[in-house]
Chain A
């Protein structure tokens, strides 16, 4: 009797989130799928109807899709790499207890609090194509003679976007990794020292392996950030064709060209890619760590 009551309470407490998720997430997702199977252009509101997978075919046949997919994948690799490597470095730095650790923690939190679009705006001044900070610096150091047009070359632009996004996502990875570092029992290091392990082998055989699940959370969260980059590209390069990724492409298809059918199909393809990441995400999020 008591157990039954507990179960009813469990469901009752979940009712608000179930309603919110059902109405604002799951229902729209199903609706988007039904849009993706229809001909649905707001420019021709009368001309609608079921077209099967035609929208998906039209997406997969367009060069624009493959171009933006390449851009998304490039951003994914660079952002994840930078975020993870520097995130771990920052975590190791924050884990050292000194007089300035408090200040460093404050500085580390700051980029994370920034609206992504403002982040893009701020960095735009650094990579300003004419005499922005970066060009002034590089010319001053004698590395280049002429200012670099950061926003006019495809991979240079994408690289800048990746740096800017990584800068904002490093703090999260760093704090998660710091959590991992602090969770390692101190006795492990002492035991290793007694057994004659050096600093490097302690790191290699204790810190590294025990940090892995936390690095996993960092990597998956960075991947999701990377696939969903939008604000920074808009702030740095606008809705130009050069630096567009899948999200910009889907935004333009849906809300500029008002092709809701094709836009929905495109969004579903993005979701499929995210779902693969999501699988690893869930596995990381729900994994137990044994010490």
Chain B
């Protein structure tokens, strides 16, 4: 960045990048506050003539149908996030610790068998799961739905954690063990304080993956009590197809929880991913 040419190039790249990244959000917001009648009118003006908050008022009015649908969806998604984190994090940590730190027969096979499932299309597992869910009447059970979510992104978390653990010299833990520190204490008091960025970034990835589910709940979640916000938002578009404004507003509200969490934890995301992928 020392030369003038370099500075100009950097400036241009930054501007293009910001327009492309922020643009879609700004436009969606603009659609959400544009009065319905002027939205797709044959006009060249980019911005609404006046701000119209009706769509947000409707969504936040406790008695409206849209309010119930949207916030039940949000609540369902949060519940799924909670369950997947409670199950997913301990399972991922145990698996990654075992695969990164312990030696035993068949380790490589198990590791590959877990990692390869990252490429399996969702429908390959969901078709039989649908029949199982129907016959055991699990279609309305949040727990089982969340467990299916977890099975789809646990391999990714385990992979990140294994790589992160393997960048930490094992001698530190061995020294603690020689000093009489038990395996469990070594894990929590020696390894975790060093490895916590990857735990936080894995938790974030689990949060986002659970919140973003669409294909699995499309088939396995049919009821009002399990449908996540992603499905609900897409149904806004079909059922309220004329009302683009409220769809845009609902879409923007649906991204607040994941976006806010990602922004707050982004530091860990980068450090966790940096060492988690940079093996």
User: Which residues of B107-162 are within 8 A (CB) of A?
Assistant: 107, 110, 112-129, 131-132, 147-148, 150-151, 154, 158-159
Q: Which of B112, B255, B266 contacts A105 (CB 8 A)?
A: B266
A117 touches B234 (CB 8 A): yes
A114 touches B159 (CB 8 A): no
A25 to B147, CA, bound (A): 11
Q: Which of B20, B21, B124, B269 contacts A32 (CB 8 A)?
A: B124
A90 to B14, CA, bound (A): 9
Interface size class of A (residues with CB under 8 A): 35 or more
A176 touches B273 (CB 8 A): yes
Contact with A along B67-106 (1 / 0, CB 8 A): 0000000000000000000000011101101110011110
Question: Hey, which chain A residues are within 8 Å of B102, CB to CB?
Answer: 6-7, 9-10, 13
Contact A224:B119 (CB < 8 A) given known A10-B104, A113-B208: yes
Q: Which of B27, B43, B119, B183 contacts A281 (CB 8 A)?
A: B119
Contact A28:B251 (CB < 8 A) given known A10-B107, A20-B91, A130-B40: no
Question: Hey, which chain B residues are within 8 Å of A234, CB to CB?
Answer: 214, 234
Q: Is B263 an interface residue (CB 8 A)?
A: yes
- Chain B at the A interface: SS class: helix
A100 touches B255 (CB 8 A): no
A122 touches B112 (CB 8 A): no
A31 touches B128 (CB 8 A): yes
Contact A17:B158 (CB < 8 A) given known A90-B17, A110-B263, A115-B255: yes
Nearest-neighbour CB distance to chain A for B195, whole angstroms, equals 16
A11 touches B147 (CB 8 A): no
Question: Hey, which chain A residues are within 8 Å of B105, CB to CB?
Answer: 7
A131 to B154, CA, bound (A): 43
Q: Is B176 an interface residue (CB 8 A)?
A: no
B262 touches A121 (CB 8 A): no
A285 to B197, CA, bound (A): 20
Q: Which of A25, A35, A124 contacts B151 (CB 8 A)?
A: A25
B127 touches A109 (CB 8 A): no
Contact A24:B125 (CB < 8 A) given known A7-B102, A14-B110, A105-B270: yes
Contact with B along A220-244 (1 / 0, CB 8 A): 0000100110110011000000000
9 contacts between A and B (CB under 8 A): A9-B102, A14-B99, A115-B230, A115-B254, A126-B27, A247-B215, A277-B119, A278-B116, A281-B119
Q: Which residues of A contact B (CB under 8 A)?
A: 3, 6-11, 13-14, 16-18, 20-21, 24-29, 31-32, 35, 89-90, 93, 96, 98, 100, 104-118, 121-126, 128, 130-133, 136, 139-140, 167, 175-176, 178-180, 182-183, 214, 217, 224, 227-228, 230-231, 234-235, 247, 250-251, 254-255, 260, 263-264, 267-268, 270-271, 274-275, 277-278, 281-282, 285-289
Q: Which residues of B contact A (CB under 8 A)?
A: 1, 10, 13-14, 17-18, 20-25, 27-28, 31, 40-44, 46, 90-92, 94-95, 97-99, 102-105, 107, 110, 112-129, 131-132, 147-148, 150-151, 154, 158-159, 183, 208, 211-212, 214-215, 218-219, 229-231, 233-234, 237, 244, 247-248, 251, 254-255, 258-259, 261-263, 266, 269-270, 273-275, 277-279
